[in-house]
Amino acid sequence: MLDRTQELERIALIEALNVLDPALGRALDPITELAAFTFGVPIALISIVDSDAQHSISRVGLESLVRVERQWSICACAIESHAVLQVSDLSQDPRFNNNPAVTGPEHLRFYAGAPLVTRSGIALGALCLIDRQPRVLDEDEIRQLQTLARLVVNQMELRMSLGRRDAVSGLPNRQQFQSDLGVLGRQDGGHHYTGVLLDVFDLQSTTDAGQVLGLKPVESLLRQASLRVQDMIGEFAQVYHVAATRFGFVLRDQSREQVEALLDRLRERMRRPLMVGSIPMSPQFHAGVCAFRPEPDQTADLLRKCLVAMHHALQTDACVCWYSKDRDEYLRRRYRLASDAGRGLSQDQFTLVYQPRFDLTSGVPVSAEALLRWTHPSLGPVSPAEFIPVLECTALMPTLSRWVAEQAVQQAARWQNVLPGFAVSLNLSPRDFDDEQLWQRMAERLQMYGLPASLIEIEITEGQWLHSHPAALPQLRAMAAAGVRVAIDDFGSGYSNFGYLAEVPISHIKIDRSLITGLAESRTARLKVDAIIRLAEQLGYRTVAEGVEDEAELELLRAWGCDEAQGFHLARPMRAEAVTQLVLACRAGPLADA
């Protein structure tokens, strides 16, 4: 009698191998027919016994035995036998003499069943011979039946292995990894496990080598890497080739310290150069590790969790990173934002607020920057610092940018009725300029609303991205020629090269808040900002200070001749109606003393 653990493992393997697939049964029909012919019996079956019933996946004769409840299954007894179960007359055997197939119209008498035992020693079912007359197999016939049973198992395993091995390394692939995890997840939880996902080569370097040397040397490289992993891990676990340059395995009953020590030894081994043609290449080593319990919900999600950890290792250039639930939730939130943004745009969850920009000579707001806000129905207000980098990686960003531009131009036109000459600035990303119709559409909107181009300012980030977006410069030049103001945003935060500004028709430089914050206390920051303002003035650019937080910073900027400023010290982002009231009040001047 199989114990509970053995039975759970057997049922899990039946599910993992998908041996109840009708296509497998059809493939096994020739063996069933051969068995019936060889032994001269009217009935031959290949059966699979699961937790509930016996299923005849291939058969000759006896259509009524396609499915038999397990309590009446003779093959259920055969799978518990280490040899062929032979019953010369079922009606005389107390185990089976009340079986409906024996007492009923089928009138079964003889049964011989050879267990279908996999290489792992698990019996899935039986190849059985049935007759309506009592009979006995001799020893040679029993050996022949066992040989046919092994042939059935070989066919099953061969068919199941199709598409389950990597063609380059010969190792089991990701599909087999998931299948084996499924088996693990249906076993008793008496052990603890650790999943490991290992990246051994930079994919870009491997691709570059393939372009130069061809695929064969690269495949040789991957085979060498796979052999190293197997040499180190093979005694502890089965190694799987789960992606082009990635391998996975599961360790059992290893402590965190033992896992890290093993991976450290593997890292030392993997870092030794491998030859590609005549070129030595140094493998990389980044491992994502996740402890888990052998439960279906955890095994089903293991590879994804290991991937989260491994990408963290890649991004931080660490050798080993353990799975972090916090990082997983962060990534899931990013994905949710990307998924929900399209619906949010159609359901008016996005709005614009405007942060006024003040002229430092007059002290009056002269323009406002349009800033995007998102109130998610379940997550609440989401910071632009969080959702904009996410959406910039999606196809929705150009649509969202067009929406922002449309709303901002409309608002600028409305302001002209009450705030003549008040301008609006809006931010465009590098991807927005991939749309060659960007300026044409904007020009049409300006004409539609009767808005002078000089009252629109386009803010772009500094950097070398202009060279990788060939449509950007011609459109920026067309905008500037029409009168649109072009500003470099966040100047001083990165590239910060005045030389490349000659290529761009800019009118304003916005000094990044990282240089303004703490300006009064930092001598280095003061020297940088003062130099930027003086040089910008000599080159004919107006300067705008971002992120002004206190009066001391404001006074320094005025003293150095900075043209404009914005920040919480002056005004926070606000609704368009509030901007109108603020600007009207500033233009009216201070109230006279009573």
Convert the pLDDT of each residue in 191-203 to its tens digit. 899 999 999 987 7
* Better-scored residue on pLDDT, 473 or 184: 473
129 in Cβ contact with 87 (< 8 Å): no
User: Does the structure show a pLDDT above 90 at 58?
Assistant: yes
pLDDT tens-digit map of 346-369: 999 999 999 999 999 999 999 999
HEC per residue, 397-411: HHHHHHHHHHHHHHH
Q: What is the pLDDT of residue 317?
A: 93
Position 66 confidence tier, pLDDT thresholds 50, 70, 90: confident
Question: For the residues 329-335, what does the mean pLDDT come to?
Answer: 95
Q: What is the pLDDT of residue 593?
A: 41
Position 325 confidence tier, pLDDT thresholds 50, 70, 90: very high
Question: For the residues 141-166, what does the mean pLDDT come to?
Answer: 88
User: Does the structure show a pLDDT above 70 at 16?
Assistant: no
Q: What is the pLDDT of residue 122?
A: 85
* Better-scored residue on pLDDT, 585 or 190: 585
Q: What is the pLDDT of residue 549?
A: 93
Q: What is the pLDDT of residue 5?
A: 63
Dist. CA 215–CA 209, nearest whole Å: 8
* Better-scored residue on pLDDT, 19 or 367: 367
Question: For the residues 145-174, what does the mean pLDDT come to?
Answer: 86
User: Structure pTM?
Assistant: 0.71
| Chain mean pLDDT for the chain | 90
Q: What is the pLDDT of residue 496?
A: 56
Measured over the CA atoms of residue 298, residue 302, residue 308 and residue 314, the dihedral's sign is positive
Phi-psi region of 104 (alpha: psi -120 to 50; beta: other; left: phi over 0): beta
If residue 303 lies in a helix (H) or strand (E), which one and from where to where?
helix 302-316
Mean pLDDT is lowest, of 183-187, 322-326, 383-387, for 183-187
pLDDT tens-digit map of 473-527: 899 999 999 999 999 998 887 655 666 677 789 999 999 999 999 898 999 999 9
Q: What is the pLDDT of residue 349?
A: 97
| Alpha-helical runs (H) found in 132-255 | 139-161, 174-184, 203-213, 215-233
- Domains recognised in the chain with CATH numbers: 4-161 (3.30.450.40), 174-323 (3.30.70.270), 353-378+396-588 (3.20.20.450)
Q: What is the pLDDT of residue 480?
A: 95
pLDDT tens-digit map of 426-468: 999 888 888 889 999 999 999 999 999 999 999 998 766 777 7
Q: What is the pLDDT of residue 204?
A: 73
User: Does the structure show a pLDDT above 70 at 136?
Assistant: yes
Dist. CA 373–CA 354, nearest whole Å: 10
Quote the DSSP letter at residue 593.
Answer: P
Structure tokens at 367: 């323009």
Position 594 confidence tier, pLDDT thresholds 50, 70, 90: very low
Measured over the CA atoms of residue 77, residue 83, residue 84 and residue 85, the dihedral's sign is negative
User: Does the structure show a pLDDT above 70 at 189?
Assistant: no
Q: What is the pLDDT of residue 592?
A: 39
User: Does the structure show a pLDDT above 80 at 173?
Assistant: yes
Q: What is the pLDDT of residue 188?
A: 56
pLDDT tens-digit map of 119-128: 878 899 999 9
Dist. CA 24–CA 19, nearest whole Å: 7
Q: Residue 28: exposed, middle, or buried by beta-carbon count in 10 A (0-12, 13-18, 19+)?
A: buried
User: Does the structure show a pLDDT above 60 at 1?
Assistant: no
Dist. CA 523–CA 462, nearest whole Å: 24
pLDDT tens-digit map of 385-415: 999 999 988 889 989 999 999 999 999 999 9
Question: For the residues 581-590, what does the mean pLDDT come to?
Answer: 91
